[in-house]
Amino acid sequence: MLALWIAPAAFLVTVLGGLFALWFRDRLHLILGFSAGAVVGIAFFDLLPEAIHASGASAQTLSLYVAAGFLAYLLLDRLTSLSRGNSHHHHEDHGHGHLAQRGALGAASLVAHSLFDGMAVGFAFQVSDSMGLAVAVAVLTHDFSDGINTMNVVLKNGGNRSEALRWLIADAAAPVLGILSTFLFALPPETFGTVLALFCGFFLYLGASDLIPESHHSHPKLLTTLMTLAGAGLVLAMSLYAH
């Protein structure tokens, strides 16, 4: 039942991310840098060891599952968020209505990702409470980033604050629905190791392609890099302590 406590936390963290984007734009790179390290650290120090322990599969097989998770999330990201990449270009060539449509599509893609993230948390809790909490930490850091991105993608494409807040609430509700959906069905125990390896690939992609580049964009690199190392180091220390 711990997953039910994570659901409102995911909602609140996403909303806080969006509000942070409005209030503290000059400090976003430090938060995102720390989040990137935490997400990558959870993939390496929690998910991958647990996948090895749970599955009993060969290193080569698990590597294939991790790669499959990484590439599957890459495809999902490309299919659902093309508008986010396009919305940053050619602002002068389109009218306000077209820009607003781009902003809405970008925000909708983030909502879809957040739904998927919530399902990942629910499935991880089916493995164990400790694994669920580890995945929840990674998802919550990503939800904070999603809240920031949702707010930014709407405002940068001509949307007003009211529209941005509506999309933010939708994005905050999505992981809650994702978590609740996993109470409708359970994963077979023999698939847990495979699922954990897939999650490892998911979070490696999130850290490498989303959080790290975003945290380093147009900001001093040294302090941001130190925050990324601090995030990974904290997760490593927690993992060592737990075992």
- Residue 56 phi, psi (nearest 5): 70, 10
Number of domains in the chain: 1
Residue 80 Cα distances to 13, 29, 120, 145, 198, angstroms: 22, 24, 18, 17, 19
Mean pLDDT of the chain: 77
Q: Which domain holds residue 88?
A: 2-242
Question: Tokens 């580890």 correspond to what residue?
Answer: 134
Is pLDDT at 52 greater than 90 in this prediction?
A: no
pLDDT tens-digit readout, 10-48: 999 899 888 877 777 666 677 777 777 877 887 888 778
Q: Give residue 64's pLDDT.
A: 94
Nearest 5 degrees, angle CA 139-CA 79-CA 125? 25
Nearest 5 degrees, angle CA 234-CA 239-CA 241? 95
Helix ranges restricted to H, 43-160: 48-55, 59-80, 82-86, 96-127, 129-155
pLDDT tens-digit readout, 178-192: 999 989 988 776 787
Residue type, 83: S
What pTM, to 2 d.p., does this model score? 0.62
Q: Give residue 217's pLDDT.
A: 64
pLDDT tens-digit readout, 53-86: 777 778 889 999 999 999 988 887 777 555 445 5
One DSSP character per residue, 123-155 reads HHHHH-HHHHHHHHHHHHHHHHHHHHHHHHHHH
What CA–CA distance (Å, rounded) separates 229 from 208? Answer: 13
SS3 state of residue 224: helix
Rg (alpha carbons) of the chain, rounded to whole number: 18
